[in-house]
Structure 1
Amino acid sequence: MDLIPIGEAAARLGLAPSALRYYDERGLVRPRRHGGRRMYSPEELRRLAFIKIFQQLGIGLDTAAAILDAPDPEWREAVARQIAHLDEVIARARGAQRFLAHALDCPAEHPVRDCPTMTAALDRLVGGASIDRLVAEHDAPAGPAAAGHGAPRPDPHA
């Protein structure tokens, strides 16, 4: 593929030309110049696609730059750190999902006012417990039933 101008590169990637200029100013891409116009090679388009993916995932440009430009093993370490961060984000999202599912499935008229499980958790949060701790306690096995021995955990609403 030949070099393509900034407008075409931006259109192919669904980005504004100003974003491509900004990435150039930050040193994330290094388009060639012909007659003062930025021209993008296939390699630069791949770098832009990588940046777009990171941006859509909420990953910062500094992290993208570290991965794009660092030598091995630094870029691998940056990727490993990002994976660990995403694992934390996913765990928090799953905790939020369980919290909301409990609210939705709760037989109480309104979970924030009437659900003993929900009000106890909210009171603990107000009392200084961290959200991470509440999630961990909610996910922790409860007695012998959690180890596969005995009856399942009782429903606090039953």
Structure 2
Amino acid sequence: MTNHDTDPTRLAFVCVQNAGRSQMSAAFAERERDRRGLDAEVEILTGGTHPADHVHEPVVNAMADAGVDIADRTPRAITEAELQSADYVATMGCSTLDVGTVGPDTEVRDWDLEDPDGKDPERVREIRDEIAARVEALFDEATATTAAHSE
């Protein structure tokens, strides 16, 4: 999926706390990578600018309802080096990213998603489903871009 023969495409999912939207995004990206058989071609990163202590419980529950277990995940900081090396960076609509911190060829997507923290379970599931669709679309785009570069 990259322009390079051996380098994996790096997808980064970033928000402030890395405790909700970006965790869901990374988990769905891992599932999508597995579904498409792209384990060697895609690397997935996630992190926050000010990580929380734990993933929000309603997010863990909503993901479990979708068959994805993220109960053991811990929010972490995203590094500038990780952002610099990413091919695609998806921010969650929380203005976490100074565009100067990404690489010159990085495709940045601001998904402008509502923060699920403190929302009722139905709303968290709606946000989860929107994230799943956006992750799938990002994979479609990255795959199409790679195919176009390899022709």
Q: Provide the TM-score with structure 2 as the length reference.
A: 0.31
Task: Tell me which structure has the larger Cα radius of gyration.
Answer: 1
> Counting helix residues as a fraction of each chain, which structure ranks higher?
1
> Counting strand residues as a fraction of each chain, which structure ranks higher?
2
Q: Provide the TM-score with structure 1 as the length reference.
A: 0.30
Larger RCO of the pair (alpha carbons < 8 Å, separation 6+): 2
